[in-house]
Chains A and B, each alone.
Chain A
Amino acid sequence: MPTTIEIRSLNLFYGSFQALKAVDLSIEKNIITALIGPSGCGKSTLLRCLNRMNDLIHGVRITGEVRFEGKNIYDATADVATLRKRIGMVFQRPNPFPLSVYGNVVYGLKVAGEREKRIMDEVAERSLKAAWLWDNVKDRLDRPALGLPLDQQQRLCIARLLAIQPEVILMDEPCSALDPIATSKIEDLMLDLKREYSIVIVTHNMQQASRVSDSTGYMLLGEMIEFGPTANIFTMPARKLTEDYITGKYG
């Protein structure tokens, strides 16, 4: 499988605290890559490096490279707005805008200057269908998005992302606010989406990582301890640190 994102010797400092230590990682196309590890291990920090969300945090210093489709996204010439369009993010809490369902889905298109209603309708329908939300909302596209149940809000956020046709979807604990049924829907949706998108998910839930991902990276104290096919990590990890964490002996 070809690589989409190549991380090389990535270090990240919050002031004097080093949150990522020489991380190397290759993220392949059209698979789900999971990052697991205890709280504070750096997995969310690493995820946010992939579309430069950490730029927004004061006092962050980054060294090393994150190459997306061959180009270092931390180059001085890199266009961050375009990058975040190509690598989108879904957050822990669903964060629909205080707009209608429809307004949320076409928001990105409008910002990009699209004015034609027919195109926006088409994209809205396609995106909502791809996020398995169309049947739930097709009769109430003009209703406030914040009135939807939480899991539908989360799928709306995914639809909003799909509308701008990203290449990579980053997911930061996308199910931690959801109950098991809603979680299972999102997991199945992810497995569908990977046919067209590359997905990187950070999760506290090891079982979730094992269920949905193809590759898993275990992180501890800012280091990538072990990275490999998920089946190998969960049946025959190479390192004792990984074994201790996934069998619950850590801590």
Chain B
Amino acid sequence: MKRHFQNELEALKVSLVKMGSVVEEALKSSVFAILNRDDAAVQRVLEAEERINLLELEIDHAILDLLALQQPVASDLRFILAVQKINNDLERMGDHAVNIAESAVALKTLPDTGMLEEIPRMAELTLGIVKQGLDSMILKDPSLAAAVLRADDGIDDMNRTVARKVIGLVKNDPTAIALGLELIRISRNLERVADLTTNIAEDVLFYVQARVVKHHAEEKDDTHREVYHGPGTD
């Protein structure tokens, strides 16, 4: 029963999957743009961002209607709340893709003195966990979500390494300051994308397992009880 409501939830999920794919594409293009100094890739990011903004509004609107009209409860309610937050996180990730693309434009004005080896490595790792985070939501897979949370520390370390290396670079050659700032900016944006992906993973755990893991809330909570995890997760 309630087929129509379930169909609406399914449609919301489809919109979120679409949003996730566009964000993933935007991030890939932004990384391609910095590694290859490619103008067309920059353009693709800017176009994707417009689509992301429209999808964000569309999903917001669907959520408002579902909450107001359908009185969702239990796993349906957790799903809608998770989608609401993930929608917001994805839109922010789109903004970071634009920031990275802007750095690609700035890099083109600077001499091509080579890229820090950490940047492509970091970009690859970040794109990897973005995919994992989105998959964890689509597949309702808590183990993928947990993997995202574990992987984020490595990206944070790389961000710090980039900062340290840039300091060394500028110390040796003060004229490299413009390049150094762009590299820090790129690294910082990638690190933020990874952080936002951990938010998604936390939302997936909330949706699928009814667990609140952010801010170590679970460790502080001693009122454990059995929770039905919703259809398809047993």
Contact = CB atoms under 8 A, between A and B. Distances in A.
Nearest to A234: B68
A-side interface size class: 10 to 19
A207 interface: yes
A161 to B, nearest CB: 21
Nearest to B65: A231
Contacts of B1: 181, 184-185, 188
Interface string B58-98: 00000011001111000000000000000000000000000
Interface residues of B, number: 11
A230 interface: yes
Given A231-B65, A235-B64, A235-B65, A188 B3 contact: yes
Contacts of A187: 4
A234 B3 contact: no
A191 B69 contact: no
B228 interface: no
Given A188-B2, A188-B4, A231 B68 contact: yes
A44 to B, nearest CB: 23
A28 to B, nearest CB: 18
B179 to A, nearest CB: 50
Contacts of A191: 4
Contacts of A110: none
Contacts of B70: 210-211
A207 B73 CA distance: 13
A18 to B, nearest CB: 33
Nearest to B67: A235
B74 to A, nearest CB: 14
Contacts of A181: 1
Counting from the closest, the 7 A-B pairs by CB-CB distance are A210-B69, A234-B68, A184-B1, A235-B68, A191-B4, A231-B65, A207-B71
Interface of B: 1-5, 64-65, 68-71
28 contacts: A181-B1, A184-B1, A184-B2, A185-B1, A187-B4, A188-B1, A188-B2, A188-B3, A188-B4, A191-B4, A207-B71, A210-B68, A210-B69, A210-B70, A210-B71, A211-B5, A211-B69, A211-B70, A211-B71, A230-B69, A231-B65, A231-B68, A231-B69, A234-B68, A234-B69, A235-B64, A235-B65, A235-B68
